[in-house]
């Protein structure tokens, strides 16, 4: 199966709450070699409508170009926007690395910044439940099996509020810890009730702008 990808450099952004979140290190559960950075962003209906309005001209232009290449109408895949457990989620990702035909390897990382646009220290772990703004580009593609579609490729992340984390991602409450007066890591703000990353049934949204 051949994927013809055309990466558009227009930067789009969504603001919301991170849910399934792998931004410090790529998730290698399914992509063993290089892994994949991921951030599902829980957003409002208003944010989705704004995003679809921004996406529409790029999407329609690329779809028309693909139809001309294929000599007629093509099947379209669902947008990377889903409805799950009553929440609307924008799915963004970035591959962890790649290898060229001559064997050279390249490894990628996600640039991350704090609310004041300063680079986030590398030891700060971004957990699900954090309030974020994800900047991404649109990677349009076509395959014989799935048809024409788009992937939201992460370009950078701004962390507005940092959720509670812990050792290996375990919440502090598991050890019986409660809030006390004192040190706050990196001066950040905390959120309680971080999202559970457990996968549940989801409904994808079509590209009916």
Is 12 domain-assigned?
yes
Q: Which two tokens stand for residue 153?
A: 């490729």
Is 202 domain-assigned?
no
Domain coverage including residue 131: 6-196
* Count of domains observed in the chain: 1
Burial of 21: CB neighbours in 10 Å, binned 0-12, 13-18, 19+: buried
19: how many CB neighbours lie within 10 A of its CB? 22
pLDDT tens, position by position, 166-183: 434 445 554 555 556 544
pLDDT tens, position by position, 70-123: 999 999 999 999 998 889 999 999 999 999 889 899 999 999 999 999 999 989
Is 203 domain-assigned?
no
Residue 143 CA to residue 75 CA, distance in Å, equals: 10
Per-residue pLDDT band for 194 (boundaries 50, 70, 90) equals: very low
Task: Give the pLDDT of residue 1.
Answer: 44
Which CATH number belongs to the domain containing residue 61 in this structure? 2.40.50.140
At residue 9, does pLDDT exceed 80?
no
Is 206 domain-assigned?
no
Rounded percentage of the chain residues whose pLDDT exceeds 90: 65
Q: Which residue in 90, 181, 83, 82 sits closest to 135, CA to CA?
A: 90
Contact 141, 147 (CB under 8 A): no
pLDDT tens, position by position, 98-108: 998 898 999 99
Higher pLDDT, 3 or 149: 149
């Amino acid at each position: 199966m051949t994927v013809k990808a055309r990466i558009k450099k227009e930067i789009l952004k969504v603001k919301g709450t991170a849910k399934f979140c792998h931004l410090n290190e790529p998730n290698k559960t399914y992509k063993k070699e290089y892994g994949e950075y991921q951030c599902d962003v829980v957003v409002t209906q208003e944010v989705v409508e704004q995003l679809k309005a921004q996406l529409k001209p790029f999407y329609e232009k690329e779809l028309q170009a693909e139809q001309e290449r294929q000599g007629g109408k093509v099947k379209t895949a669902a947008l990377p926007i889903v409805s799950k457990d009553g929440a609307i989620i924008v799915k963004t990702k970035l591959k962890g690395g790649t290898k060229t035909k001559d064997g050279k390897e390249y490894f990628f990382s996600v640039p991350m910044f704090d609310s004041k646009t300063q680079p986030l220290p590398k030891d700060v772990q971004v957990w699900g439940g954090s309030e974020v703004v994800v900047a991404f580009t649109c990677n349009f593609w076509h395959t014989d099996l799935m048809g024409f579609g788009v992937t939201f490729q992460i370009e950078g992340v701004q962390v507005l509020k940092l959720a509670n984390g812990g050792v290996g991602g375990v919440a502090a409450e598991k050890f019986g810890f409660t809030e006390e007066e004192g040190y706050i890591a990196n001066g950040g703000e905390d959120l309680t009730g971080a999202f559970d990353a457990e996968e549940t049934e989801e409904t994808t949204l079509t590209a009916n702008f």
